[in-house]
Amino acid sequence: MCGIAGIMTRDGSPVAPTRLTPMSRAMAHRGPDGEGLACRDDVGFLHLRLAIIDLATGDQPLYGPNGVMLIGNGEIYNNVELRAEMAGTPFRTHSDCEPPLFVYASLGERFAEKLRGMYAIAIHDPACNRLVLARDPFGIKPLYYAQNAGEFAFASEPQALLAAGFGSRTPDAVARAELLQLKFTTGQATIFPGVFRVLPGETLVIERGEIVSRHRIAALPSGAPQKMSLDEAVAALDRALENSVMVHQRSDVPFGLFLSGGIDSTAVLALMARLNERPVVAFTAGFPGTLVADERSEARRLAKLVGAEHSEITFDEADFWRMTPRAVAAIDDPTMDYAILPTYKLAAAARGSLKVVLSGEGGDELFAGYSRYRRARRPGWLGGRLPWANGVFDAVDVLRPSVTDHWRDGLARAEQSGRARGRTRLQELQAADSAEWLPNDLLTKLDRCLMTNGLEGRTPFLDPVVADIAFRLPDALKTHRRLGKYALRAWLAKAMPQANAFAEKKGFDVPVREWIARDGARLGKLVALQPGVAEIAEPAKVEALYLQSGKHVGFALWGLLFYALWHRVHVLGLPVIDDVFDALADTTRAA
């Protein structure tokens, strides 16, 4: 896990090393273990290293046949298998990113089709003077690009591109509407005009600063569900999940688990305990003294069952007021998911003893865990409705007219593209979530919160071996009555009988509504005065809203607070201040 960035000139002129300096400064948190810089011909490459594999000789850039140069962020989990297939190849290092150089020498721009892992890779091929960018099929690792009159640039984070003078910090109106209503943004374009995502599974070929070709690797298998019994599904899942967790544990540094006590992370716990002689190291967050469900007791019970070394981290009201500005600042490609708060603190707590953390992201998407899947399949007269049918601010009258126009257009495109011959309605819903919600909310949250704290996050559910089984399960083995993830639950009931595998899903919540309500009047006055909020909402209505309560109001209150703090750092360019009230007051003074 690292940070990568680079520039290619349009006229063939060399890239000055100082041109990469702003990018290095903006992403310094991604590379606490070293920096690699190479400028040759018309390209400059920057690599910021978090050392996980091959601590001694794994510095990048790496060089392969015919002078091909590579930098990468992530992990190639089939590194061992690729090296075995290429016996006799003159590898110079033990880095998991070196085999892709030799795969590229054989397959060219289709090289990513041989890779199993999470990755964002840049290759410079001097023989044909081209730059190749590739991102893993699920979009676990981020990669962005931008262009101007003289250069093409790429980076692991938008803020690196903005720091180097690419794109614009003025929020795009449609992306901003998506953020406010969906809590994340969709598609290729980001909220920063001129800054774009390399899409999950996409490979771009760039020559003289222009994209000349692009193609994608699908994350999910095609076709209809396979016919299988529950026993057959459980056996297939056991093989696939064990294999995935095994390769996701490949590391030269200590690794552990974020354990929530839910089905997904418990499944990973069971497999890690099965595969390791040493106790699993697990971290759990809880919210003491609040109305939301506290998962620590269940996680503690499960950890004790397998003899795990379990640490419990509390996130309380004081943490909320103190830590929120820094957690929000970490999310440069914004997602208003309030789970960034406990994730950020968990990462801060774990970094003292771990460098790699496994988590359960992707389980709900691949195994159909969300209640919105079951609701969308019901007829309207039984309460059925489209997922994401209502936006966060639909229930409150606070935003200015036209601020949320077209907020669902990107999601509608994802829903359309998820439709394929033979797929069931449930598979279409899963595909849409896997294309947008997963990479642009859940995985962005995980990447930024962990990388800011010098940790690598790994997601064993988001693996082709697992996806090939899970996505093609019969619908009846995904949802059963009021339960989602039915086959995974059945597997867990067998693998860890004490795990309460068939307990109804509680859902994850963070008590931001409670904390905001206790100081709503003071907070509302400050939020209403923020320049970013004033652009989208009427100040008097914002103040009045912060005096109200209720679930839907709570989402809107958090959304406005998030946007105010995010806008302060990533649009206005003001420094992070570790207190919500001080940060907001400072913005009003600066304005």
Instruction: Work out the angle at residue 191's Cα, subtended by the Cα atoms of residues 452 and 147, and round it to the nearest 5 degrees.
Output: 90
CATH number of 2-216: 3.60.20.10
Domain range 230-499, CATH class: alpha beta
Helix, coil or strand: residue 446: helix
34-49: b (≥16 Cβ within 10 Å) or e: ebbebbebbbbbbbbb
Q: What would the pLDDT profile of 528-585 be if each residue is shown by its tens digit?
A: 999 999 999 999 999 999 999 877 899 999 999 999 999 999 999 999 999 999 999 9
Considering the chain, what is the average pLDDT of its residues?
95
What is the predicted pLDDT for the residue at 317? 97
What is the predicted pLDDT for the residue at 329? 98
Q: What would the pLDDT profile of 15-36 be if each residue is shown by its tens digit?
A: 999 999 999 999 999 988 889 9
pLDDT at 67 over 80: yes
pLDDT at 591 over 80: no
In terms of Cα–Cα distance, which of 410, 43, 466 is closest to 199? 410
For the chain, what are the domain ranges?
A: 2-216, 230-499, 512-590
Q: What percent of the chain has pLDDT over 90?
A: 88
Range 44-49 average pLDDT: 95
Range 371-384 average pLDDT: 77
Q: What would the pLDDT profile of 129-154 be if each residue is shown by its tens digit?
A: 999 999 999 999 999 999 999 999 99
What is the predicted pLDDT for the residue at 19? 97
Tokens of 418: 């998820």
> What are 61-65's contacts with CB under 8 Å, separation 24+?
61/36, 62/92, 62/93, 62/95, 62/97, 62/98, 62/101, 63/92, 63/101, 64/98, 64/101, 64/102, 64/104, 64/105, 65/101, 65/102, 65/105
Asked whether 2 and 50 are in contact (CB, 8 A), the reply is yes
Termini Cα distance of the chain: 38
What is the predicted pLDDT for the residue at 301? 97
Q: What would the pLDDT profile of 425-446 be if each residue is shown by its tens digit?
A: 999 999 999 999 999 999 999 9
pLDDT at 1 over 70: no
Tokens of 195: 């800054």
pLDDT confidence band for 352 (50 / 70 / 90): confident
> What are 409-416's contacts with CB under 8 Å, separation 24+?
409/174, 410/174, 410/178, 410/185, 410/186, 410/187, 410/436, 411/178, 411/182, 411/186, 411/436, 413/186, 413/187, 414/186, 414/187
pLDDT confidence band for 382 (50 / 70 / 90): low
Helix, coil or strand: residue 257: strand
In terms of Cα–Cα distance, which of 426, 443, 445 is closest to 200? 443
What is the predicted pLDDT for the residue at 378? 77
Range 310-327 average pLDDT: 97
Tokens of 411: 């999601």
| Fold matches, 2-216 and 230-499 | no
Decide the pairing of beta strands 195-197 and 144-147: antiparallel
Show the beta-strand stretches assigned E in 287-423.
309-314, 356-358
What is the predicted pLDDT for the residue at 138? 98
- Residue 381's CB: how many other CB atoms inside 10 A? 6
What is the predicted pLDDT for the residue at 252? 84
Q: What would the pLDDT profile of 73-127 be if each residue is shown by its tens digit?
A: 999 999 999 999 999 999 999 999 999 999 999 999 999 999 999 999 999 999 9
User: For 481, which DSSP code?
Assistant: T
What is the predicted pLDDT for the residue at 379? 66
Q: What share of the chain is helix, strand, coil (3-state, %, to 5)?
A: 45, 15, 40
What is the predicted pLDDT for the residue at 52? 79
pLDDT confidence band for 380 (50 / 70 / 90): low
